[in-house]
Chain A
Amino acid sequence: AQKITQTQPGMFVQEKEAVTLDCTYDTSDPSYGLFWYKQPSSGEMIFLIYQGSYDQQNATEGRYSLNFQKARKSANLVISASQLGDSAMYFCAMREYLTGNQFYFGTGTSLTVIP
């Protein structure tokens, strides 16, 4: 089974609007972390935000927030007030504590911000 599933290969959003990128995960480890990375067309991987499995509140970092629904095993990324520079690939990832701390990545969502 896939550890991380991103079901949206491509998304479009109007500039200044909010957008939600979906991510579901699969683990039986009670201790894990969930991460989002941004990959612009230049290719580098940029860390955006993380959520720990024991965190009670949703993580936020500036215009990024992580909508963590533990029972549903989802960790959606919300980008508020989209900017043209947000156009990029976005990857969701998970790190499990018990399985040697490996990271598992989804296949990514391509976000295009329309002026």
Chain B
Amino acid sequence: DADVTQTPRNRITKTGKRIMLECSQTKGHDRMYWYRQDPGLGLRLIYYSFDVKDINKGEISDGYSVSRQAQAKFSLSLESAIPNQTALYFCATSWGGRATDTQYFGPGTRLTVL
């Protein structure tokens, strides 16, 4: 079984709809992250959480919200989806504390907003 899972893997929705992307991990990591990937722009950080009570905005948080329901679960919501939120979304996890600890990524969610 994968250590970091994301649901759904693919989603097509319409402008104005509320969408939730879910992430679960079995690695026991304390830190969780949401990124979006657009062609030519690499990965951009949306939100990150160091533990259940510590949630921080990333580079591009406008239009998104998150919830850390448990150490193992981190959800990303688009309250009112718009077409320029069409992208590949990744959840990632890591240990805190050491700069040399890597991130582990989920398989990604392809979101299309029509």
Contact = CB atoms under 8 A, between A and B. Distances in A.
A74 to B, nearest CB: 17
What size tier do the contact residues of chain A reach? 20 to 34
Given A43-B108, A103-B33, A107-B40, A97 B98 contact: yes
Nearest to B31: A101
6 contacts: A33-B98, A45-B90, A50-B100, A96-B99, A103-B103, A107-B41
Query: For chain B, what secondary structure do more than half of its interface residues adopt (helix, strand, loop), or is it mixed?
Result: strand
A47 interface: yes
Report the interface size class on chain B.
20 to 34
**Which of B31, B100, B101: most chain A Cβ within 10 A?**
B100
B13 to A, nearest CB: 19
Contacts of B74: none
B34 to A, nearest CB: 12
